[in-house]
Amino acid sequence: MKIKHYTLSVLLATFISAMPLTHIMASELSAPQVSIAEASDKLQQRMQDKGFIKDFNKVTQFVDQTIYPHVDFDKISALVLGKIWKTATPDEQTRFKKEFQTLLVRTYSRAFSEFKEWSIRFLPSEMEEGATKVIVKTEVLQPGVQPIAVNYRMYLNGNEWKAYDIMIEGVSLVTNYRTTFSDEVQAKGSLNAVIESLAKRNAEALKNS
């Protein structure tokens, strides 16, 4: 099952558009939930700048400084490519991660402007004491729309909780892109060809925007 553009945009945007931490009692949240809420709080403040979303460089800088610390993009990239990642050269891995991250930033940058007047409700955590992996369950709330289930797979990396997958209504970001890139590698004949195609699409999209 592939995620439609609308659904994918919601999925990506919700990771960094959760209800601000200032609106939630931090003591009521688990450590993984706080990780998501802190990033979203900074985003809400940054979005007061009306020109923020229109400036890709500003969005990229914000992601580098505020979002990346809460997300393991190395792990996500490896999971997305699956077996292909293991046979890729170090250069291919680096280039793929760069272009894939650019694709994600482009996607949720559009989502910022498309979806407004929503909030996130954190559902009760089922995290066991001493656990190093957890699924943070949330619901996206919008006026006149049924709540949308958005869950985050997170793991403990040292002392920090990092996300490595996002699921919306049970559909995984990692699984969705793994299918997409697997099909593209098969069609184009190599991972290098897919990376070059992705880089070209990214460059054209950024030029047009």
* Domain ranges, ordered by start, for the chain: 5-208
What is the third-level CATH fold of 5-208? Nuclear Transport Factor 2; Chain: A, (3.10.450)
Quote the pTM value: 0.78
pLDDT over 60 (residue 14): no
Q: How far from 155 is each of 63, 132, 133, 167, CA to CA, in Å?
A: 20, 5, 4, 15
pLDDT score recorded for residue 58:
77
List of E strands, 16-125: 119-122
Please say whether the beta carbons of 17 and 152 come within 8 A. Answer: no
Local confidence band at 113 (pLDDT 50, 70, 90 cut-offs): low
Please say whether the beta carbons of 123 and 137 come within 8 A. Answer: yes
Average confidence (pLDDT) over 118-133 = 80
pLDDT over 50 (residue 197): yes
